[in-house]
Structure 1
């Protein structure tokens, strides 16, 4: 249903002034991502102004992308590897050669915005939406020959979908959304009202300076191309009122006053309900992994403009029996304590251990009894206005998905609302939707008519 019309490379203009070797060295957080998939996120836009032609949209996107890449120049480069002469290891870095980011124009004129927004449609999610994203199935190491950033504009019968793929070695979710918002600002204003966040790369004092050597002689020693079995994927909505109730419930059960956050309470809910839906034995140890940002926790803190990876997945552990025999507040408190304990000293010790024994993560390391809370509702995802108005929905591709993966997004209406994209075994998904605790907390999604009735100024 999706036909590729054209592909082209967009280079940074004007080309950035770089040192002669053009090398952009990577940190432990970056190198650990070599076997993960690209980040794949996208926006669904409806009710575009009738005066805007597709040609005008494409030209503006390309021109503004070129300007944005001047500031975020590693995204226009390629990965490169330098081997030790004795084959005792390798150095992986970004060659800032300005080969360009890829721009793809695609057509899906038989698909409507309503088709993409169809509630709880496994067929749409599994078959259609992934085709809106470039570099499907690519792992980050493929950035040696593939672009580090790619965008696909898919024209629908009554809207467009912008699907992005960004190499996770180059940056995490914070970096990804900072770049997209800077690009969108340039696109909608032609000349940015403020300077986009300039690349602010720190050589962090972790006891080792880049370049860092990986103890491998060939990429086959650390690249795992993970292909998950078929799973069910659905998006669930939690209104601002629902989030407030969860927070109040967790704090009341622990006898605390607003200490446990709303997202910690939501994570505890998902950990409990998914574990129950899976019918895991009571003695089995289960984990809740929560993606957490390092920038503000380091001392001194990293610049908010730091471009790269600075994220970790905290691991909170309990047996199924402990998790389900206690209240929501008990699980939320475990998560809260783990977040509080995640300090500068802990982060630096983890990096020190990685430098001593480097490793590369891959999705097959994730165990079947765990839940991973990824992404963040704090990212300004709906702020990406390219000049056509606000997106009506956010969706993701097939990258980095497996049983127990939960990705969080801000709700369309804002005000603290949250959308969760949940990937589960088919039977477990059905059990989750029927779970009384889950049903009591989840909200009705924003009505389709409300999304589609918003005009360019709405």
Structure 2
């Protein structure tokens, strides 16, 4: 089934980077605290259910449309929002996509912000005006691991890239509640998606880990044809 882009309503203005031109021909950047709020998008997809996103082994392409600021680079923060939130209504649930410029925070800062926002938003009927503003793997060797795959067809020039990991299973990704209950799952957006990219999140069950793997299609095909590998990950 083809899932087209959602219907979108955008509320602005938004926070961005300010620039100071120095006497020595260099530039200094700062967060322009202009009382602007976060870039907020409310969208609707009337032909997608929660299970359409969660059930497939490969992350559906529709997920790419559920995050704001796709393709925006960090240095574009001088004219693009530093923080954007997109709430998409599905048939039987909602998907909250949040994008933050890496210049103003790291992964820990992002999840602290997201959880703080959920605490301050809880109890309201809507969030159209949000108030925005062992290290990698557990030592338990029997912890369950769920691997949603993300195909990347355009980065053929990175076909020989090595594997690299981002995020952390120590981030509190399931600690938020916007008033709709705890999240059912966590997915990452298009940012930094390259052949060999592995994104690690804690799983919903205590002691578990979710791993999202981004590889070129031909590599996924080779893995699928390897029966021993598929059995070892329980697929």
TM-score range, shorter chain: 0.7 to 0.9
Partner of 1:151: 85
Separation in 2, partners of 1:3, 1:91: 38
Q: Structure 1 residue 244 and structure 2 residue 35: aligned?
A: no
Alpha-carbon displacement from aligned partner over 1:292-316 (angstroms, at most 9, x marks no partner): xxxxxxxxxxxxxxxxxxxxxxxxx
TM value normalised by structure 2 = 0.79
Separation in 1, partners of 2:229, 2:123: 43
Structure 1 residues 432, 137: closer, same or farther in 2, change over 3 A? Answer: same
Unaligned runs of 5+ in 2: 125-132, 148-154
Is the Cα–Cα contact under 8 Å of residues 111 and 173 in structure 2 kept in the other structure?
A: yes
107, 111, 116: which one aligns with 2:44 = 107
Is the Cα–Cα contact under 8 Å of residues 203 and 210 in structure 2 kept in the other structure?
A: yes
Is the Cα–Cα contact under 8 Å of residues 80 and 93 in structure 1 kept in the other structure?
A: yes
Partner of 1:161: 95
Q: 1:431 Cα deviation (Å)? A: 2.5
Q: 1:433 Cα deviation (Å)? A: 3.9
Q: 1:423 Cα deviation (Å)? A: 0.7
Is the Cα–Cα contact under 8 Å of residues 198 and 212 in structure 2 kept in the other structure?
A: yes
Separation in 1, partners of 2:164, 2:68: 24
Alpha-carbon displacement from aligned partner over 1:353-408 (angstroms, at most 9, x marks no partner): xxxxxxxxxx9xx8934111111111111111111111111112111110100001
Separation in 2, partners of 1:165, 1:118: 24
Separation in 2, partners of 1:117, 1:386: 20
Alpha-carbon displacement from aligned partner over 1:296-345 (angstroms, at most 9, x marks no partner): xxxxxxxxxxxxxxxxxxxxxxxxxxxxxxxxxxxxxxxxxxxxxxxxxx
Separation in 2, partners of 1:367, 1:106: 35
Q: Structure 1 residue 4 and structure 2 residue 10: aligned?
A: no
357, 373, 384: which one aligns with 2:176 = 384
Structure 1 residues 132, 369: closer, same or farther in 2, change over 3 A? Answer: closer
Q: Which moved more, 1:77-86 or 1:393-402?
A: 77-86
**Aligned residues, how many?**
211
Once superposed, what is the RMSD of the aligned Cα atoms? 3.0
Matches within 5 A, 1:411-450: 411-412=203-204, 414-435=205-226, 438-439=229-230, 441-443=232-234
Separation in 2, partners of 1:2, 1:427: 27
Q: Structure 1 residue 185 and structure 2 residue 122: aligned?
A: no
Q: 1:4 Cα deviation (Å)? A: 3.3
**Structure with greater contact order relative to length (CA < 8 Å, sep ≥ 6):** 1
Matches within 5 A, 1:272-287: none
Q: 1:437 Cα deviation (Å)? A: 6.4
Matches within 5 A, 1:353-372: 368-372=160-164
Partner of 1:79: 17
Q: Secondary structure at the match of 2:141?
A: helix
Q: Structure 1 residue 139 and structure 2 residue 73: aligned?
A: yes
Q: Secondary structure at the match of 2:68?
A: coil
Separation in 2, partners of 1:121, 1:86: 51
Q: Secondary structure at the match of 2:171?
A: coil
Structure 1 residues 104, 420: closer, same or farther in 2, change over 3 A? Answer: same
Separation in 1, partners of 2:62, 2:159: 28
Is the Cα–Cα contact under 8 Å of residues 77 and 148 in structure 1 kept in the other structure?
A: yes
TM value normalised by structure 1 = 0.42
Unaligned runs of 5+ in 1: 11-75, 191-198, 200-239, 247-261, 271-362, 445-458
Structure 1 residues 433, 377: closer, same or farther in 2, change over 3 A? Answer: farther
Q: 1:158 Cα deviation (Å)? A: 1.0
Q: 1:181 Cα deviation (Å)? A: 0.4
Q: 1:115 Cα deviation (Å)? A: 1.2
Q: Structure 1 residue 397 and structure 2 residue 189: aligned?
A: yes
Is the Cα–Cα contact under 8 Å of residues 159 and 216 in structure 2 kept in the other structure?
A: no
Is the Cα–Cα contact under 8 Å of residues 100 and 147 in structure 1 kept in the other structure?
A: no
Structure showing greater radius of gyration is 1
Q: 1:152 Cα deviation (Å)? A: 0.8
